[in-house]
Amino acid sequence: MTIPIYRADESIVIGAIPSHPERTAMVEADGALLLWDELADTIYPAARIFDLDRAGEWLWDIYGAESIRGILTGDEEIDPIAVTSILRTAKRLAHIEWARSWWPESALSSIPPLSTHLLDAEAALHAFAVEHLLDDAESVRRSLSTVDFGQLAEFARHRLLGEEVTELLDRLDDLAEDYGVEPIRTSRPTPVSGLALAAGDMRATSTAAATGKALIDWNLVPAGMIDSAGSARWELARHEGELTLSVSVPAASSTTDVPLTARVGDTDISLERSPDLPFFVGRTVVPTSFLLTRTDQRQPVVHSPVMGRPEDASPELADRHQAILAHARRRLATPDGLLAERIAGA
């Protein structure tokens, strides 16, 4: 397998950087970023090297010693031939970090959430295995300090995978002792389950003038906040003598309290989590002239202000989302997947 090298004034790029954020699995390494395309079937990552002296200490673990000599001597491509255990572990760590940020939880598509407790635990174990190449010298200690051993103990009761969880706990206990980390041991378990979504739109007692739905760009909403297969449904209706615009968005299991907004033209509608149904809902009064606007100008853009300014959705966004949803369904059935994926799939 031949991988091209691109050289710029301030960095060296090895391979092709993934094309979209939701497809990018990344490890922040010492002097470089390692980036895998989550949907591509390749073991070798792309790399953006910004400090070759630092990265040179560990790059041979990823691409092989011969390849590193080529990078150092100005070659325009490398041909790695060995797949090391360090490389496999680094890729798995990158996948864990991808799952933290991009796992497309969806009751509508039967994709359950992944346990953050299991992801934390597996991240700590994999960070230890590749500690020498990580950018943060405290990464293992920091990872261990987030692991809730009490919550993990509940997964040790799992009928099929309990023994693996117990083994994971034992290894993490030893690591915590070696690194001088006092484990968190929450006594009350947090249930890990998806939410069943109610069918149909959010409708008040009103006379509907127009309805529709719009795609939600995952880049604009924090992970785990909305159902990844859901759409933003809108309704323009007469309600108590006023013209109102209502928006509903199916929620996921996260209870984050960051704000969520639907922007329709120049109008912002604040969306609040319904106390009774797994939806974010919002409504505002609009002038009668709103009836004259084109349908495409009524499409809500759902976003959280903490994620930046919304832009027009890419025309291929729906296909990109479907590819990630299909990838997640495959991961749930992968025999050697993460414990978090296999337990969710089971």
User: With pLDDT > 90 as the criterion, what percentage of the chain qualifies?
Assistant: 47
- Residue 190 has what pLDDT? 47
CA dist., res. 73 & res. 69, Å (int): 6
CA dist., res. 163 & res. 342, Å (int): 13
CA dist., res. 8 & res. 265, Å (int): 41
Mean pLDDT along residues 219-241: 84
- Residue 203 has what pLDDT? 40
Question: Does residue 313 surpass a pLDDT of 80?
Answer: no
- Residue 202 has what pLDDT? 37
What Cα–Cα distance (Å) separates residue 210 from each residue in 46, 197, 255, 298?
47, 23, 31, 10
Question: Does residue 287 surpass a pLDDT of 60?
Answer: yes
CA dist., res. 22 & res. 8, Å (int): 26
Are 209 and 242 in contact by the 8 Å Cβ rule? The answer is no
CA dist., res. 18 & res. 63, Å (int): 18
Question: Does residue 192 surpass a pLDDT of 80?
Answer: no
Mean pLDDT along residues 32-55: 94
Among 129-133, 179-183, 209-213, top mean pLDDT goes to: 129-133
Among 75-79, 113-117, 304-308, top mean pLDDT goes to: 113-117
Sheet holding 301-303, edge to edge: 207-214, 232-239, 242-250, 279-285, 267-273, 260-264, 301-303
Task: State pTM to two decimals.
Answer: 0.79
For the chain, the straight-line distance linking the first and the last C-alpha, in angstroms and rounded, comes to: 36
SS3 269: strand
What Cα–Cα distance (Å) separates residue 224 from each residue in 61, 102, 227?
34, 8, 7
